[in-house]
Structure 1
Amino acid sequence: MKIGFDAKRIFHNTTGLGNYSRDLVRILDEYYPSNFYYLYNPKPKKVKRLKLKPSMKEVLPESWIWKKLSSLWRQKAVISQIKSDNIDVFHGLSGEIPRKLKQNGIKSVVTIHDLIFMRYPEWYSYFDRKIHFSKFKYAAENADCVIAISEQTKRDIITYLKIPESKIKVIYQGCHNAFKVERTNEEKDSLKKKLDLPEKFLLNVGTVEKRKNALTIIKSIRNLDIPLVIVGRKTKYYKEIEEYITENNLQDKVIFLEGLSMEELSTLYQLAEIFIYPSVFEGFGIPIIESLFSKTPVITTNDGVFPEAGGSHSRYVNPTDVTAMENEIKLLLSSNELRDEITEEGYKYAGKFRDEVIVQEINNVYRNLLED
């Protein structure tokens, strides 16, 4: 098969959408190397986290005009190059597909990660909501198959985009292989020294934005004798956090980090006592899976997708309940036996997010479309 991908996120995104896109192409190449994978990139790459294999080809706009109008190329003009490459199936990896694939006889799949802009419109500008809705609605209606990354996202696609359930397939996403490698004591000690980390700490990973709700964790540790490490890009929400830290003299209890490699991040997970992820809403929540594979106990949000990602042995709280979160942290810190049980069962649960499970389901989608 020749499979084409909207590769914008692969080459220009370092967070969730980029990681999903790179990991999917990587495992497809690993398990189905006889296929050919065409990565349609609107402009020269900035993020170099995917090593291109012989079966992969990066495709850029051919003419100077489309190099200048790269966004328009991605939506429309790319179709001529997709046709020229004789693509069998085109996969939009982040809620979008080019126009007129179906009219040109090209089967298509679109992955939709979440519809947060519809659930929480107050977090987006009017203009952004209109653009997102237009692109997602077109993709969901015109693709031959819609992949939802969770049952939660599937329900939202049915509710907000009015797509029939029969057209939607839930296929979970996994995480980078780095999180499945047990780090040596030397690697752990080296990272602790490099980052000047405390002996014991709590961990939170994700963009430092209001939806991710890191401030609740900080409030919950105000009276606890353990620091918190937060890894992620800062947004304007960081100022609100910074003000709280200063007002409560918590400068020595909260450590912010950015720019870690995947290997460093995976080591950090394995060093942490507890991973805490009190996000208000996610389409899935890859950091939870990263923590399960890292054998680090998880405290996360008690509804939405989070129990789906964390399994029955992770710990769940109302994301705005500071007292409940503090109590969960104290409980886990006080019981090695409970932490061991949670990590062991969580690691078993993570088996449903392994590469071989996910890639077989994805490849079956492609095969079934061509057979139809």
Structure 2
Amino acid sequence: MKLGFDAKRVFHNTTGLGNYSRDTLRILAAQFPHHKYFLYNPKPGSVNRLVLTSNMVLCMPKAKVWQKLSSLWRQKAIVKDLMADKIEIYHGLTNELPIGIEKTNIKSVVTIHDLIFVRYPQLYSYIDAKIHFKKFKRAAQVADKIIAISEQTKKDIVSFLDVEASKIEVIYQGCHAAFKEVYNKDQKQEVAVKYSLPSKYLLNVGTIQERKNLLTIVKAIKDTQHHLVVVGKETTYIEKVKAFIRDNNMKQRVHFLRGVAMDELAMIYQMADIFIYPSIFEGFGIPIVEAMYSKTPVISSKGSCFSEAGGAESIYVEPHDEIALKKAILNIEENLELQEKMTLKGFEYVQRFNDDVIGNQILKLYKSL
């Protein structure tokens, strides 16, 4: 098959949507090398995290006018290139499909990650929320198939976008291979020294924004001696967190890391005592999966999709309940039997997110078209 992909975020995004796009392409190209994968990128990017294999073709706007108007090319004019390249199935990896694809013979798939802007519009500008809703709804309605990355997202698509459930397949997100590697003591020590990591620490990974709820972790450890390591892109929300840290003399115990490579992040996970993810709402929550591959106990939030990612043996608390979070941290620390059970059962559970499982499910969906 000739398979086309919206690859904008492969080359322009270092966080969730970029990681999903790269992992999907990596899994498919490695597992099914006899197909051809056309990666449509509107303009040269600065993110170089995908190794292009011989069965991948990088495609950019052919006409000079669309090289200058690359956003318009991605939204509509790309359809002519898809037809010229004889693409059989086009996959919008990040919530969007080009206008007019429904008028061609090209089958289309769109992955919808979440509808947080509908559930929590206060976290977005009015204009952004309106634009997102219009793009997502149009893509969902014209697509031949929709991939939802969790059962929670599927329910939201049905409820908010008025789409039949039968059109939606739940296919979970893959996980980067770095988190499945076993690193030796010297490698870990090198990372620990490079980032001045404490000997024992709690870990939080994810964009530092209000929805991710980092402040609740900081409040939970205020009257303890715990160290917290935080890895994530900063937003203005960090000022609220840092103000609390300053006011409570916690600067020496909360460590913010930048510029962390993927293999370094995997080692930071593996050296952590507990991974904490108190997000209010997510489409899936890939950091939970990364932690379980790393054999690190997980505490996350009740509700949303978190139990889908974390399974039955992770611990869940109300997202803003710092007292319950503190109790959960101490309970895990003081109970070696519980630690062992959480890491063992978590690692067993997370095998459902292995590359072969994800790849087979996606290819099955393509073949159904």
Q: Which residue of 1 aligns with 2:54?
A: 54
Query: In structure 1, the residue corresponding to 2:72 is in which secondary structure?
Result: helix
C-alpha separation between the residues in 2 aligned to 1:43 and 1:306? Answer: 35
For structure 1, which segment, 349-358 or 95-104, has the greater mean C-alpha deviation from structure 2 after superposition?
A: 95-104
Q: CA deviation at 1:45?
A: 1.7
C-alpha separation between the residues in 2 aligned to 1:256 and 1:67? Answer: 38
2:303 matches 1:303: yes
Query: In structure 1, the residue corresponding to 2:234 is in which secondary structure?
Result: coil
C-alpha separation between the residues in 2 aligned to 1:3 and 1:147? Answer: 16
Alignment of 1:210-229 (within 5 A): 210-229=210-229
Q: Which residue of 2 aligns with 1:332?
A: 332
Q: Which residue of 1 aligns with 2:250?
A: 250
Q: Which residue of 2 aligns with 1:181?
A: 181
Q: Deviations over 1:146-179 (max 9, x none)?
A: 0000000000000000000010000001210000
Q: CA deviation at 1:262?
A: 0.6
Q: CA deviation at 1:140?
A: 0.3
Alignment of 1:153-192 (within 5 A): 153-192=153-192
After TM superposition, the runs of 4+ consecutive aligned structure 1 residues lying more than 4 A away are none
Q: Which residue of 2 aligns with 1:98?
A: 98
Q: Which residue of 1 aligns with 2:140?
A: 140
C-alpha separation between the residues in 2 aligned to 1:304 and 1:282? Answer: 7
C-alpha separation between the residues in 2 aligned to 1:259 and 1:335? Answer: 34
2:276 matches 1:283: no
Q: CA deviation at 1:364?
A: 0.6
| Normalised TM-score (structure 2) | 0.99
Q: CA deviation at 1:58?
A: 0.9
Structure 2, unmatched stretches of 5+, are none
Q: Deviations over 1:39-88 (max 9, x none)?
A: 00010121000010010011011111111111100010011110010001
Paired letter, 1:212: K
Q: CA deviation at 1:259?
A: 1.4
C-alpha separation between the residues in 2 aligned to 1:45 and 1:237? Answer: 27
Q: Deviations over 1:230-252 (max 9, x none)?
A: 00011000000111001000001
Q: CA deviation at 1:307?
A: 0.8
Q: Which residue of 2 aligns with 1:113?
A: 113
Query: In structure 2, the residue corresponding to 1:204 is in which secondary structure?
Result: strand
Q: Which residue of 1 aligns with 2:294?
A: 294
Query: In structure 2, the residue corresponding to 1:91 is in which secondary structure?
Result: strand
C-alpha separation between the residues in 2 aligned to 1:257 and 1:195? Answer: 7
Query: In structure 2, the residue corresponding to 1:169 is in which secondary structure?
Result: strand
Paired letter, 2:324: A
Q: Which residue of 1 aligns with 2:345?
A: 345
Q: CA deviation at 1:224?
A: 1.5
Q: Deviations over 1:104-163 (max 9, x none)?
A: 110000000000000001111111111101110110000000000000000000000000
C-alpha separation between the residues in 1 aligned to 2:200 and 2:129? Answer: 42
Paired letter, 2:310: G
Q: CA deviation at 1:102?
A: 2.3
C-alpha separation between the residues in 2 aligned to 1:159 and 1:259? Answer: 39
Q: Which residue of 2 aligns with 1:312?
A: 312
Q: Deviations over 1:179-230 (max 9, x none)?
A: 0011111111111111111100000000000000000000000112220000
C-alpha separation between the residues in 2 aligned to 1:320 and 1:129? Answer: 25
Query: In structure 2, the residue corresponding to 1:129 is in which secondary structure?
Result: helix
Q: CA deviation at 1:258?
A: 1.6
Query: In structure 2, the residue corresponding to 1:276 is in which secondary structure?
Result: strand
Q: Which residue of 1 aligns with 2:77?
A: 77
Paired letter, 1:346: G
Paired letter, 2:334: S
C-alpha separation between the residues in 1 aligned to 2:340 and 2:178? Answer: 22
Q: CA deviation at 1:101?
A: 1.3
2:235 matches 1:235: yes
Query: In structure 2, the residue corresponding to 1:275 is in which secondary structure?
Result: strand
Provide the aligned length of Structure 1 versus Structure 2. Answer: 369
Paired letter, 1:275: F
Q: CA deviation at 1:103?
A: 1.0
Query: In structure 2, the residue corresponding to 1:217 is in which secondary structure?
Result: helix
For structure 1, which segment, 120-129 or 292-301, has the greater mean C-alpha deviation from structure 2 after superposition?
A: 120-129
Q: Which residue of 1 aligns with 2:28?
A: 28
Q: CA deviation at 1:367?
A: 0.7
Paired letter, 2:230: I
2:154 matches 1:131: no
C-alpha separation between the residues in 2 aligned to 1:238 and 1:283? Answer: 22
Query: In structure 2, the residue corresponding to 1:342 is in which secondary structure?
Result: helix
C-alpha separation between the residues in 1 aligned to 2:162 and 2:27? Answer: 31
Q: Which residue of 1 aligns with 2:354?
A: 354
Paired letter, 1:253: R
